[in-house]
A and B are shown apart, each in its own frame.
Chain A
Amino acid sequence: WEEPPYPKPGEYYLLTGKVGQHTQFATQNNQLLHKYEDKPRIWVHTSVAKTLGIITDDLVRVTSLVGEVILAALVTEGIRPDCVYMAPGYGHLSKGLVTAYAHGASDSELHMTFTDPISGGQALTQTFVQLEKA
């Protein structure tokens, strides 16, 4: 057993998941799915948002050790106060993806690579990010 790292004060676990309207990272350019999806935002707990002074749809600069993105915030009770959640699959870089290009932000720009020494799996919740109002 190895004690996992914990976020320092002012840092938050970066969580990612899936969007109900999309299949992984492949369908963001589908106009019909784009039409009915929620705007990609970063979820922030109400108490954290209060200390940062942000409300829903404010732009937030999210910084990890390896990168930073700017994304609109969703202030919600539906997340732990020490975590933030980003809808994955957005922030496509190819201009050929007319609908998906520059829509939302990519969580891959923030993730650091931690490989599990036994299984080889990626530890996707071990990246800690800092938030500030952009």
Chain B
Amino acid sequence: MPQKNHFGFVIDVSRCIDCRACLVSCSVENAVPMNHTRIWVHDLGLQGEFPDLRRTFIPYNCMHCDNPPCIQVCTSGATYKDKETGLVLVNQEACIGCGFCVEACPYDARYLDEKRGVVDKCNACDQRLVIGQKPACVATCLGGARMFGDLNDSNSEAVIALKNANSILQRLDIEYEQGTHTHPNIYYINSDENLNARLEPHQPQYTLAEQSWRKFFLPAVLVGVGATVLGQAIMFTKQLLQGESEFEDR
């Protein structure tokens, strides 16, 4: 891994009871607006017939992907992958609130904060990480379904949970361009369901504005600037070689 740490979540699906304490604690810790949420518990619904029933809950939030589609569409460079921690973060000073990343996220893990005019998302509570605490959702989880840690550190809670898992590890990985996978950093353990097929992350959606910016206006601007620079350079060289004649007194 290129970065120093490689933080990721491990979620034990068999332990989630859908109490939503993580959603509440996240909202409190990060002052999330009342009409938005940063994390979710997805209910796969009741399966089977009474009385042979089963039900699975999938907690999820930003997957802090290794190849995030959201970074590619960011026009202002506000969304970045942190070099120290490997988390996908938003620099809200730089964010212009265009919302392209909200559409591009395959997991719908971002929202546009209309009041502040910036995009917001799970930041793995990096304000808590720097003082040595776990993210609020992990600290609150009643059943211990949510775990968090450095995936490069073999002693972290997350890696130990991965080693002791009773099932295959699952990620909600999708291929969104030829040969490019998102490589999300939430690992699901202890579930015999095919979570990727059940939760259905969608392909990144690119809005018309985003596409016209990336495919037409951005190249046009680059061509325009390039042509100007080139013209200036040609004239400057010409002037150097021939010497200035136009404005000199005869």
Contacts and interface: CB of A to CB of B under 8 A. Distances in A.
Interface residues on B, range: 10 to 19
B50 A81 contact: yes
A18 B20 CA distance: 14
Contacts of A76: 46
User: Which interface residue of A32, A37, A45, A76 has the most chain B CB atoms within 10 A?
Assistant: A32
B24 A33 contact: yes
Contacts of A33: 24
User: Which interface residue of B23, B28, B50 has the most chain A CB atoms within 10 A?
Assistant: B50
Q: Is the interface of B mostly helix, strand, loop or mixed?
A: mixed
Contacts of B19: 20-21
Contacts of A77: 46, 48-50, 53
Interface string A18-35: 001100000000011101
A122 B173 CA distance: 52
Contacts of B23: 36
Contacts of B34: 31, 35
Interface residues on A, range: 10 to 19
Given A20-B17, A20-B18, A32 B50 contact: no
Nearest to A78: B46
A79 B20 contact: no
Contacts of A45: 50
Q: Which 10 A-B pairs give the minimum distances between C-beta atoms?
A: A20-B19, A36-B20, A36-B23, A77-B50, A32-B24, A77-B46, A78-B46, A21-B20, A32-B27, A78-B53
Given A36-B20, A78-B55, A80-B50, 8 more contacts: A21-B20, A32-B28, A35-B27, A35-B37, A36-B37, A77-B46, A77-B48, A78-B50
